[in-house]
Structure 1
Amino acid sequence: MKAVKNNSVYFPDKEQEDLLGVLDEIFYFLIQHFAETIMEETEHIISRMNISDTLAERIFPQLVWWTTFCSPIGSEKITIFQHYLQLNKHRFENKGSFTQDVLVSWLSLNPGFYHVLECESESDRVFIFKDVFGGDTKIVRINQRIFLTPKRGEIITGLLIPMGNATYITQGGLFHIPEELAQKVLRKIIPYFKKHAISTDYDFNPQLYPSLAMITLNMMEKVYEK
């Protein structure tokens, strides 16, 4: 599916501004109530990777978001985001269908891998990414103040969060795979996904992301060692 330009990605409307506030709340919620769980989960994943501290620091933000939105925890086996929704259900019941639909879409998030196709704004904050597994293109706005600019030809991995109107944002620390390594990484992660996926739809396989990230990082570590 081809991405269609939409002014809301450049100038968020009131409902999207409210959703940005929800994302801030989720971050503070996980820090306040699940900081220890987050650290244990991410450290466990990183401990299985034979990578440098530098690469570990670079992938850490995406593992935090994966743990928050994708990894069931505790005896209830629900995600941190689901815990947040349960505690704040009363606040969202009277919200409009736009907000409710977006929040429901966040229940099926999964960090992905994307080709960087082009930049779509003078601010260098809006980009077109193409999903390496599904082939869909996405209009993405990078939301943090300081960030490494994606370059055409790179592959980016990280969590893209739907904001309605066919637009997405990122909340922090996209991981960049340089163009010279892109095809080598794809030749490893695509067959791994096909072999281990429980659904042909990438989004329904969040359990695979740590392994796909590990394959990617181990390949990059070998290059950096030379």
Structure 2
Amino acid sequence: MAVEQKVISIQEKLKDLAFEEIGEIFNFSSVYYGVYLLGLVNDFIETEQIPEEIASALVPHLISWVVFSHRLSDEKKSIFEFYLDSPKYKSRMKPKVHTLISEWKYALPGVYNIEGFLGERVLVLKDIILMKERLVGVYNEIYHLPKESDLLIGYLLPAGDSTYFPIIDFFHIPAVHKKQAAYRIIEFYNKAETTDHEFFVRYYPKLLSIISSVIK
């Protein structure tokens, strides 16, 4: 039992160290790519006609996509991948933490049904597009407990022990809009002639736009 508790303690410490790196990633993005990020945000709001009251909640999710998935103009890398190559990356010399954080290059956003709660900050989620179930622990300081009937959208990062955690708090789609949002998202997905990975890399802003049009 003592050995098992020690293993759990080490894994939790690894998660904590990895989660702390998220703030550094966004600081790096702001300092070196702030103007670029702002341009994409403004284009998204204007092109998709996102109302101000909805934009304030959706824009952080757009920024997460830009940082972790969007390929920069004339480049084949995301901002996150540039961060991993930069001197600012603090966990390079911590092999176990680095191994975990490196896996985030393959993370994708998703739209999730809540299958159940194992605690206020432990959820079982199922992606309505990829139909994959995830056990999720929430570490974020800002966290609004969703209702079980909500549809959630956001990024889940692997935590190294077959569990996941969100980059930022989820965006909640309430039950009154859930059916229509899910239908339109899946309809759009089925019409896209791409791989699953490429779909999210290319079309995640469009999913955010669909959600905005449903709930506004």
**TM class by shorter-chain length?**
0.7 to 0.9
- Structure 1 gaps, min length 5: 1-6, 222-226
How much has 1:102 moved relative to structure 2? 2.5
- Out of 36-45 and 84-93, give the one that drifted further: 84-93
State the match for 1:146 in structure 2.
142
Amino acid at match of 1:158: G
Q: Which has the higher contact order (CA 8 A, sep 6+)?
A: 1
In the aligned structure 1, how far is the partner of 2:139 from the partner of 2:55? 22
State the match for 1:52 in structure 2.
51
State the match for 1:165 in structure 2.
161
Amino acid at match of 2:125: F
Give the alignment partner of residue 212 of structure 2, picking from 214, 217, 220.
Answer: 217
Amino acid at match of 1:39: L
In the aligned structure 2, how far is the partner of 1:204 from the partner of 1:89? 30
- Structure 2 gaps, min length 5: 1-6
State the match for 1:4 in structure 2.
none
How much has 1:106 moved relative to structure 2? 1.2
What SS does structure 2 have at the residue aligned with 1:87? coil
Amino acid at match of 2:204: Y
Shift in alpha-carbon separation, 1:146–1:11, aligned structure 2, 3 A: farther
The within-5 A match list for 1:189-204 is 189-199=185-195, 201=196
State the match for 2:23 in structure 1.
24
State the match for 2:115 in structure 1.
117
In the aligned structure 2, how far is the partner of 1:69 from the partner of 1:44? 19
In the aligned structure 1, how far is the partner of 2:17 from the partner of 2:86? 18
In the aligned structure 1, how far is the partner of 2:43 from the partner of 2:111? 22
In the aligned structure 2, how far is the partner of 1:143 from the partner of 1:17? 8
In the aligned structure 2, how far is the partner of 1:95 from the partner of 1:129? 30
How much has 1:141 moved relative to structure 2? 2.1
In the aligned structure 2, how far is the partner of 1:93 from the partner of 1:149? 34
Percent identity, please: 24
Amino acid at match of 1:180: V
State the match for 2:70 in structure 1.
71
Q: Deviations over 1:69-101 (max 9, x none)?
A: 1111144342110110111499666543x5344
In the aligned structure 2, how far is the partner of 1:27 from the partner of 1:215? 26
In the aligned structure 2, how far is the partner of 1:47 from the partner of 1:178? 25
Amino acid at match of 1:159: Y
How much has 1:205 moved relative to structure 2? 3.3
TM-score by length of 1: 0.83
Shift in alpha-carbon separation, 1:88–1:39, aligned structure 2, 3 A: same
Q: Would you say how many aligned residue pairs link Structure 1 and Structure 2?
A: 210
TM-score by length of 2: 0.86
How much has 1:11 moved relative to structure 2? 9.0
Shift in alpha-carbon separation, 1:181–1:83, aligned structure 2, 3 A: same
Amino acid at match of 1:102: L
Shift in alpha-carbon separation, 1:179–1:203, aligned structure 2, 3 A: farther
In the aligned structure 1, how far is the partner of 2:146 from the partner of 2:198? 22
Q: Deviations over 1:45-89 (max 9, x none)?
A: 122223321100010110110000111114434211011011149
Q: Hey, which bits of structure 1, 4+ residues long, moved more than 6 A?
A: none
